[in-house]
Each structure stands twice: as structure tokens, then as C-alpha cells.
């Protein structure tokens, strides 16, 4: 019984450490990425997934670039984030969600337009 408890405790500790390490690495990797690089990678992934033309990829890139620039402009340091009041944190969260909704609607509108054009061909 003791062996099982020790084994479970070791597994929990290992999983916890692995998750912490992964999150820390991503934060460090994404820290130096420019909005242009983020938009390029995301648009290329969408191009592969949706088989977009060159012009469609450029249009999607512009949408994603605007989103990445807004995100970069609104980014604050961890220390500054801790200084925010609960009300300010809620407002920031709502603003971020509104921006995500706007981008999603823009992409949806654009992709529906693409779909309609492909259906007519």
C-alpha cells in the first residue's frame, strides 16, 4: 500500500513539474516574437488547413496582424498586472474577449465570403 502511495505521489510531482516547465518555455519563446511573425505563422497554418489562395492568405494575414498588434500593445508585465484592482482586471478581460469576438466575426465573415465564391465556381 505504501509503495502505491509513493508511486502516485511521484507521478503527480512529475506531471506537475512537466507542466510548469512547458508553460515557462512557451512564455520565454513567445516573448520575443513580433506581431508580424505571429501573424505570418498563423496565416500559413490557416492556408495549409483551408487551402487558401495567395490573395486569401494575404487578407487573412492582415486580419491576424491587426489582432497581434493590438495584443502586443495591450500587453503588460506581470508586476503591473498584480498591481491592478479586481475591477481593472475584469475590464481588461472583457476588452480582450471583445477583441477576440471582433476578430472571430471578421474571420468568419471573410471565410463565408470565400466559401460563397468557391461555391459559384
User: Residue 51 — pLDDT band, cuts 50, 70, 90?
Assistant: confident
Q: Is the pLDDT of residue 93 over 60?
A: yes
Alpha helices in the chain (DSSP H): 2-31, 35-50, 54-74, 78-83, 86-120
- pLDDT value of position 81: 75
d(CA 117, CA 38): 28
**pTM metric for this prediction:** 0.60
In the chain, where the domains are located: 1-32, 34-120
Amino acid at each position: 500500500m505504501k509503495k502505491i502511495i509513493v508511486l502516485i505521489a511521484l507521478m503527480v510531482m512529475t506531471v506537475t513539474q512537466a507542466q510548469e516547465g512547458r508553460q515557462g518555455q512557451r512564455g520565454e519563446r513567445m516573448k520575443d516574437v513580433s506581431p508580424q511573425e505571429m501573424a505570418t505563422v498563423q496565416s500559413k497554418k490557416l492556408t495549409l488547413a483551408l487551402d487558401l489562395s495567395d490573395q486569401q492568405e494575404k487578407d487573412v494575414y492582415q486580419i491576424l496582424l491587426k489582432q497581434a498588434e493590438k495584443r502586443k500593445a495591450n500587453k503588460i508585465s506581470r508586476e503591473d498586472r498584480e498591481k491592478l484592482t479586481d475591477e481593472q482586471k475584469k475590464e481588461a478581460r472583457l476588452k480582450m474577449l471583445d477583441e477576440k469576438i471582433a476578430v472571430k466575426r471578421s474571420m468568419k465573415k471573410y471565410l463565408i465570403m470565400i466559401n460563397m465564391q468557391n461555391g459559384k465556381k
